[in-house]
Amino acid sequence: MLLKFQLSLDQMSIVADEGARLANLCSTRMGRAQQMCKERADAIMTIDSFLRNTSEMEKKIRDLSKQVDKLSRFCNQAEQAMTYLDALCHIVRDGGRNGLVTRAKSFSSNNHQHGSKPCSRSQHVNSSH
């Protein structure tokens, strides 16, 4: 009977060791699962935070849109000023034979079609002599 108890104790020890090994393996896997869940929860919280702050993003986009509109107006004004200055340059070069408004209008319409070059400073100097 003592031998039977000894055999049962040995079997209980083997089963206990296997149980401890499986518990350790389960603990490791549960730790990995917990880490993965935490990372995904953090990502979801980040997305949630971003989506809740759309009004802030919308405000930034509106501000940028206003700045682009201002820049566009400035560029249009600068282009118009350059067109009139170039027309004035041609008037000076022609000796004032054509009117400023007529020349500026015809120049602005022809400038883009014919690719005429702007008047240079050397033309100003040469035409005045």
pLDDT digits (tens, 9 = 90+) for 7-59: 999 999 999 999 999 999 999 999 999 999 999 999 999 999 888 888 888 99
What's this model's pTM, rounded to 2 decimal places?
A: 0.40
Residue 106: what pLDDT? 57
What is the DSSP code (8-state) at residue 85?
A: H
Q: Indicate the domain borders of the chain.
A: 10-52, 66-129
Asked if residues 65 and 93 have their Cβ atoms less than 8 Å apart, the reply is no
Residue 125: what pLDDT? 45
More confident residue, 75 or 107: 75
Q: Which residue has the tokens 């004032």?
A: 96
